[in-house]
């Protein structure tokens, strides 16, 4: 029996980071996770600042940056929320921006809880390699 990383599919796809680990090594994935975690407060602050100043371009840029990082992490829900937020900034829908930023904060917290579990990158790599060989 294979031990899978604890990872609800709707929150995070461990296969994404497992594949990245197979290509770049577990150390690179751990570095990515550390960077994702350390940049999280700045990413959220950029979104909040763009909302507060009604800066459409800054909001679109911050949402796109978040979407890219979330996609690389395999955080499907977070990436989808960032895409919706990008659209909300583009259409200057302030109500939707407020709602989505709150949802993003919650989803991001869930992603970080999973990503920062000790050994997550190594387990995701092991699981990916085992699935690939089956």
pLDDT at 26: 87
In whole angstroms, what is the distance from residue 86 CA to residue 72 CA? 17
Asked whether residue 126 carries a pLDDT value surpassing 60, the answer given is yes
Residue 18: both structure tokens together: 């497992």
Q: Per residue in 3-15, pLDDT tens?
A: 333 344 568 888 9
pLDDT at 2: 33
Q: Per residue in 96-118, pLDDT tens?
A: 999 999 999 999 999 999 999 99
pLDDT at 10: 60
Asked whether residue 120 carries a pLDDT value surpassing 80, the answer given is yes
pLDDT at 131: 87
pLDDT at 6: 38
pLDDT at 8: 47
* Locus of tokens 């990383």: 5
pLDDT at 64: 98
Q: Per residue in 31-70, pLDDT tens?
A: 999 999 999 999 999 999 999 999 999 999 999 999 999 9
Select 14-133's CATH number: 3.30.1490, 1.10.3470, 1.10.3210, 1.20.120. Answer: 1.20.120
Shortest CA distance to 59 belongs to which of 69, 70, 48, 67?
48
Q: What is the mean pLDDT of the chain?
A: 91
Q: Are 105 and 18 in contact (CB under 8 A)?
A: no
In whole angstroms, what is the distance from residue 111 CA to residue 91 CA? 27
CA gyration radius, the chain? 16
In whole angstroms, what is the distance from residue 62 CA to residue 131 CA? 35
Q: Are 12 and 115 in contact (CB under 8 A)?
A: yes
């Amino acid at each position: 029996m294979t031990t899978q990383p604890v990872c609800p599919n709707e929150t995070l796809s461990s296969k994404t980071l497992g594949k990245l680990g197979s290509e770049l090594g577990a150390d690179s994935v751990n570095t990515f996770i550390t960077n994702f975690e350390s940049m999280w407060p700045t990413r959220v602050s950029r979104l909040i600042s763009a909302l507060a100043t009604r800066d459409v371009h800054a909001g679109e840029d911050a949402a796109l940056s978040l979407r890219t990082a979330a996609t690389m992490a395999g955080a499907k829900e977070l990436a989808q929320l960032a895409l919706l937020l990008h659209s909300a900034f583009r259409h200057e829908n302030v109500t939707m921006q407020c709602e989505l930023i709150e949802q993003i904060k919650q989803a991001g917290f869930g992603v970080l809880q999973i990503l920062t579990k000790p050994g997550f990158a190594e387990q995701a790599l092991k699981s990916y390699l085992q699935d690939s060989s089956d």
